[in-house]
Amino acid sequence: MKATFEKKGFGGVEAGLLAIPCMRGRVPEKAVSLLKELGAEKDFDGSRGKSLILHTPREKYARVLLIGMGREKNVKIEDFRAAGGKTYSNASLLSAERCAVWMDEKTEIALGDAAQAFVEGFFLKSLRLDIYRSKKKDEEKKEASEEPSEDDDEDAQVKELIVLCEEDLSRNVKEGYILAEAQNYARLLDQEPANIMTPQRMADEALMLAKKYGMDCRVYTSGELEKEGMWGLLAVGRGSAQSPVFVRMGYNEGKGFPQIALVGKAVTFDSGGVCIKPSKGMVAMKYDKSGALVLMGVMRALAELKVPVCANLYFGAVENMPDGNATKPGDVVKAFNGKTIEIVDTDAEGRVCLADAVSYAASKKPELIIDVATLTGAVSIILGRYGAGVMGTDEKAIELMLKCGEHTHERLWPLPLWDEYFDMIKSEIADVKNLGSDRGEAGTITAAMFIKEFTDGVPWMHLDIASVDHIESPTAYFRRGPSGKHVRSLTEFVRAWVQEKAKK
């Protein structure tokens, strides 16, 4: 499937379905004419959440989908993503191979932003995640006037989205497509089960991504991890039959661009180790690799957008399992930077892996380190499923990240790293311990405070995405399953961060 732009008006191209986002009280004249012609002028006024499909045999479009956006003063960019998702669902149900959307140039919202958001929603909705279903459900299609359901058996025959406008929106359409497909790339890999997406498969995927986009990539095996002194990663993987690996991927290496390090958590399955998790919900622990996959999506987007930045991605891929060799509560291990860690809870394994990866990244002296991880269940207690937590030592970077999250609707909320929280991770026998409180107090913050100990003074920002990595209830442009959230916001952040650097 592809996205194209045509600098044309309402009747510019032929398509099986034409979508028109409509503001309440200001429905475009072309749409009003169609409503009158079909005697349906009282059936649609642009009210928010309302949509109507018109059958138009005399037009270039077999059907026209009118999408109510509500009063213009209340319309947000996010509403256009929802409109894009709704359009894809209808186009698929109607077997429209070519789908068009007409963007009314009179809108008060920045038209480029609206078009990009629509494209993002359209393509994010298009991703099917039932990748191992041998036979699709054979259900009759619903009437075109009915609202598509998440459980509908969509034909998925849509091959092209054409954006129509008399203003040039080609750049916005291209960027929306690139960002959505980068996010879908992360989502599709995240859906893979642990018996398929092993640590070695994670490394193989990184190698393939690097080869496709001309990036450098190096994979370190267990023996090399011992030589490098990455005992935290080795400790987490000790109980598994799958050997851990460490991956370093570089984009624009050696060029004189601003240097940023991206560090992801890549636990391909987290049983909890010796401190084994309850069986309820453990099936979702295949998603504990989301952080690294989100950053692989970011690396793909940066390459396709040709962002002038030197970005290095680091992650240790590992499986956390219990056996006779597994790390035990009370064990002490040494991280890459020489600091010692008392393992209080083997289910707090992600931060132990990040200790090695973050300190390795810090040794390369980047201008900023960003780590992304499904790190704590506590962040869901704080924010629910509506946002991720952000912490760090670079206040300007955090402020910029919050703005990018608002723009992409991948929202974040800052949490403090007061000195008192460090007291909660002090160990009596080692430099730090990997769990702050057995009562769960400030769990998200103490986990971040632990990672901070391995940044070695390099400016750093941490995103805890455990609250948003998985969609439990489908939305207008997301199906159930991995979300890939923060591919778009982090890509936008890196672009904005580079621009800020260029001003200095």
Which position among 86, 201, 351, 495 bears the catalytic label?
Answer: 351
**Nearest-10 crossing angle of helices 290-305, 199-213:** 10
Enclosing H/E stretch for 29: helix 29-37
Does residue 254 contact residue 337 with C-beta atoms inside 8 Å? no
Helix (H, G, I), strand (E, B) or coil at 23: strand
Q: What is the CA radius of gyration of the chain?
A: 24
What is the Cβ-side half-sphere exposure of residue 502, based on CA atoms within 13 angstroms? 10
Catalytic annotation present for 277: yes
* DSSP-assigned states of every residue in 140-171: PPPPTTSPP-TTS-------EEEEE-SS--HH
d(CA 291, CA 485): 10
Which position among 30, 50, 277, 480 bears the catalytic label?
Answer: 277
Catalytic annotation present for 48: no
d(CA 143, CA 150): 15
d(CA 474, CA 318): 30
Q: Which of 131-137's residues contact partners 24+ apart within 8 Å by CB, and which partners?
A: 131/188, 131/191, 131/192, 132/193
Does residue 139 contact residue 127 with C-beta atoms inside 8 Å? no
Phi-psi region of 483 (alpha: psi -120 to 50; beta: other; left: phi over 0): alpha
Backbone angles phi, psi at 28, to 5 degrees: -55, 145
Q: Which amino acids are annotated catalytic?
A: 277, 351
